[in-house]
Amino acid sequence: MNIECMTGRVVKAAVFGTALVVALSAVFGVTVLASQGTVVVSSTDLVEKARELDGQTVEFAGEVIGEAMLRGDHAWLNVSDGANAIGLWVPSSLARKAKWFGSYRNTGDRVSVIGVFHRACPEHGGDMDIHVTDLTLVATGSATRHLVRSDRVAWAVFFAALAGGLAFFQRGRERQNLSSGR
């Protein structure tokens, strides 16, 4: 790779990065303005400061994982911000916005939600959850690629051959002795 190409890439990355930061801060700015009185929280805040946040309107963002479990007019979404996954009780119409769900195959959609936090929800058997009133799609998910590493294939072949050889040799040894011993 030559240097010009490298610099080109750096410049491109810088421009793109700045644009992204501007766009994101615009989005967040608008959200914060639109939702006064809400607290922006992480999942760690929710778990660690559950008592003081209980009953408050919070804003929480993360990756939707697993699947949307539809239960009538609402659905459960589990959203993880990396530290913990938090259960969200979402109206079905809003839950449908999420199309990609985090798993081995996919990175899930990144959503930002506003809703009422419950430390121990009386309606849902004491689960820690957020009853969501508004859900925004921040970033769309994507399929994750997992490449087969050729060095590991080689090791697998090597060990398979070794295991097969040892098994053949040792079983033969033990069997021969059994038959000659009788």
63/128 Cα distance (integer angstroms): 18
Q: Which helix (H) or strand (E) holds 58?
A: strand 57-71
137/153 Cα distance (integer angstroms): 39
In the DSSP assignment, the letter for residue 152 is H
Which of 45, 78, 81, 114 touches other proteins (CB under 8 A)? 78
Instruction: Identify which of residues 31 and 118 has a Cβ nearer to other proteins in the complex.
Output: 118
- Residue 166 as a binder of other proteins (CB under 8 A): the answer is yes
Nearest to 78 by CA among 93, 89, 92: 89
Closest approach of other proteins to the CB of residue 35, in Å: 25
**3-to-7, 9, 122 alpha-carbon distances in Å:** 6, 10, 62
Contact of 96 with 64, CB cutoff 8 Å: no
Closest approach of other proteins to the CB of residue 168, in Å: 9
106 to 145: interface string for other proteins, x by CB under 8 A: -------------xxxx-xxxxxx--------------x-
Binding piece for other proteins, criterion CB under 8 A, among 11-19, 21-29, 34-42, 168-176: 168-176
Residue ranges that bind other proteins, judged by CB under 8 A: 47-48, 50-51, 65-71, 75-76, 78, 80, 84-85, 87, 102-104, 119-122, 124-129, 144, 146-149, 152-153, 155-156, 159-160, 162-163, 166-167, 169-170, 173-174, 177, 181
